[in-house]
């Protein structure tokens, strides 16, 4: 995969009093896309836990998202692989017209050891998959 593609089905419940998908729901939808990406990355190796926590999220709002039956498209890709962390970029676009960008996000994730409740180095398997994904990522 070059960029992971997630179809985002907006709900009426995502819409606030201004008639737009609420700012908070952009994060929820980015999260859904990110989880689908991480599951796809783990692929056939369930041992590749990719167990992690989110350290930071930055979101830019570019234009309002409206409730409609047709899904939006969220693209997610790897932009950096560190020792114990990695970074993703994502954006919400129109499926028919990817040049229409609704929002962009940068996310930093840290590999996490549930036992010690502390960060840990990425395993070699995790690193290998993330670096492959990084190499595959195509600039917009």
Q: What does the binding site for its own copies look like in residue numbers (CB under 8 A)?
A: 9, 11-13, 15-19, 22-24, 27-28, 31-32, 35-36, 53-61, 69
- Token pair of 140 as six digits: 């917009």
Nearer to its own copies, 13 or 83 (CB): 13
Nearer to its own copies, 8 or 93 (CB): 8
Q: How far is the CB of 112 from its own copies (least distance, A)?
A: 10
Q: How far is the CB of 122 from its own copies (least distance, A)?
A: 19
Q: Region of 132 please: left (phi>0), alpha (psi -120 to 50) or beta.
A: alpha
Number of C-alpha atoms within 13 angstroms, CB side, residue 53? 8
Q: How far is the CB of 98 from its own copies (least distance, A)?
A: 21
List all residues 6 or more positions away from 3 whose beta carbon is below 8 Å from its beta carbon: 75, 76, 77, 137, 138
Report how far residue 121's alpha carbon sits from residue 140's, in angstroms, rounded to the nearest whole number: 30
Nearer to its own copies, 62 or 136 (CB): 62
Q: How far is the CB of 114 from its own copies (least distance, A)?
A: 9
């Amino acid at each position: 995969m070059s960029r992971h593609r997630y179809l985002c089905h907006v709900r009426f419940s995502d819409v606030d009093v201004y008639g737009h998908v609420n700012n908070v729901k952009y994060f929820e939808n980015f999260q859904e896309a990110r989880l689908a990406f991480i599951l796809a990355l783990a692929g056939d190796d369930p041992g590749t836990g990719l167990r992690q926590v989110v350290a930071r999220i930055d979101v830019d709002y570019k234009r309002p998202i409206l409730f409609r039956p047709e899904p939006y498209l969220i693209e997610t890709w790897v932009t950096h692989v560190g020792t114990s962390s990695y970074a993703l970029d994502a954006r919400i676009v129109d499926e028919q017209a990817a040049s229409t960008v609704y929002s962009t996000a940068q996310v930093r994730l840290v590999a996490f050891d549930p036992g010690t409740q502390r960060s840990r180095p990425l395993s070699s398997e995790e690193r290998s998959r993330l670096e492959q994904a990084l190499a595959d990522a195509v600039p917009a």
